[in-house]
Amino acid sequence: EVLADQIAAGEVIERPASVVKELTENSIDAQSTRIDILVEDAGLKSIQVIDNGIGIAAEDVQIAFQRHATSKITNRDDLFRVRTLGFRGEALPSIASIADVILETMQQDASMGSMIHFKGGKLITQQPYAGRQGTRITVNQLFYNTPARLKYLSSPQTELAAITDWVDHLAMSHPEVAFSLSNNGRTLLRTSGNGNLVQVISAIYGVKNAHQMIDFAGEDRDFQVSGLVSLPKLTRASKNYISILLNGRYIKNNELSKAIIKGYGSKLMVGRYPIAVLAIQLDPLLVDVNVHPTKQEVRISKENQLADLITTSVANRIGQQNL
């Protein structure tokens, strides 16, 4: 069992940022409105995620650490209509198999919550716990029993940048959630959770840049697109500032990035790229998120139609700006 979890961990948990991503996604799925992420030494010393979500019932806490235990899908049909960020039931057992993990959780109106401690996939203790509603997970000594994995990590700065990248994108995808991220006590991101994407973008890219971005929107019978794009005078030398969020999930998709760029026509200088946030809403039936365990690559039906909608929607707004 532990070996199978460690193998799964190899696919899902590549680096500290993967832990941050998985735990934060769980907090979002648990309907949290506030999520605080505290890491030490870029996550190598510890990663803590604290949320105010629905919590886990005492009788379900152990089950949550079993492989393929998910509360998010109950039948085969659900698999094709995934609305939650998680559904594979792999993250908690994977993380618990390669680290020292303590989870404390309390449900609303429950008289008592639960604390559970795993190390290297072994249950150490489970105890009653009294605290505020929500869940706190603390991950210490990540990769302590997988030295090969540890060896291939990048510098702390690079690992921290990967963490920040994920939290930035989770925050963009969920402006209605108040996020904070800190490393060794230093705040790296703080959002208000008031639902305003411009404010989230201000927190990530700076107020000045956010004010040089304009909103766009469009829809057809299958897709709704909306977001923010930078004015043609505000550009970057890399495509990394283009963010694509599909039903609240941060994805990578080169075709859709190109569709945004195409919307600028000749207004973009060669070798320059916009800053953009593109949020796409679609029926979950039109997307297959089960392509890769990390779910960052997805397969979208009618992708060409979607790309055209994006280009037109961006072109409409960028064209209106006589710059």
Q: Which residues bind ligand ADP (CB under 6 A)?
A: 22, 26-27, 30, 51, 53-56, 64, 69-72, 86-92, 135
Which is nearer to ligand ADP, 118 or 216 (by Cβ)? 118
Site string for Mg ion, 99-138 (x = CB under 5 A): ----------------------------------------
Q: How far apart are CA 137 and CA 266, in angstroms?
A: 49
Total Cβ atoms within 10 A of residue 224: 14
- Closest alpha carbon to 51 in 72, 32, 25: 32
Q: Which residue has the tokens 């979950």?
A: 284
Q: Residue 232: which of ligand ADP, Mg ion, none does it interact with, CB under 5 to 8 A by kind?
A: none
DSSP H or E run through 223: strand 223-230
Which is nearer to Mg ion, 43 or 86 (by Cβ)? 86
Q: How far apart are CA 112 and CA 122, in angstroms?
A: 24
Q: Which residue has the tokens 């409105």?
A: 33
User: Which range, of 51-59, 60-68, 82-90, 269-277, touches Mg ion by CB under 5 A?
Assistant: 82-90
Tell me the three state secondary structure of residue 17: helix
The nearest distance, CB 282 to ligand ADP, in angstroms, is 21
73 binds Mg ion (CB under 5 A): no
Counting DSSP H helices and E strands in the chain, the numbers are 11, 17
User: 184 to 213, contacts with Mg ion by CB under 5 A?
Assistant: none
User: Which range, of 21-29, 159-167, 185-193, 246-254, touches Mg ion by CB under 5 A?
Assistant: 21-29
User: Which range, of 89-97, 194-202, 213-221, 305-313, touches Mg ion by CB under 5 A?
Assistant: 89-97
User: Which range, of 8-16, 86-94, 237-245, 276-284, touches Mg ion by CB under 5 A?
Assistant: 86-94
**Burial class of residue 143 (count of CB atoms within 10 Å of its CB; 0-12, 13-18, 19+):** buried
Which is nearer to ligand ADP, 54 or 259 (by Cβ)? 54
Q: Which residue is nearest to ligand ADP (CB)?
A: 86
Which is nearer to ligand ADP, 79 or 286 (by Cβ)? 79
The sign of the torsion formed by the CA atoms of 149, 150, 151, 155 equals: positive
Q: Residue 193: which of ligand ADP, Mg ion, none does it interact with, CB under 5 to 8 A by kind?
A: none
91 binds Mg ion (CB under 5 A): yes
**Helices 197-205/156-173 angle, 10° precision:** 170
DSSP H or E run through 118: strand 113-119
What Rg value do the Cα atoms of the chain yield, rounded? Answer: 20
Which is nearer to Mg ion, 91 or 228 (by Cβ)? 91
Q: Which of 26, 84, 107, 253 binds Mg ion (CB under 5 A)?
A: 26
Residues near Mg ion (CB under 5 A) are 26, 86, 91
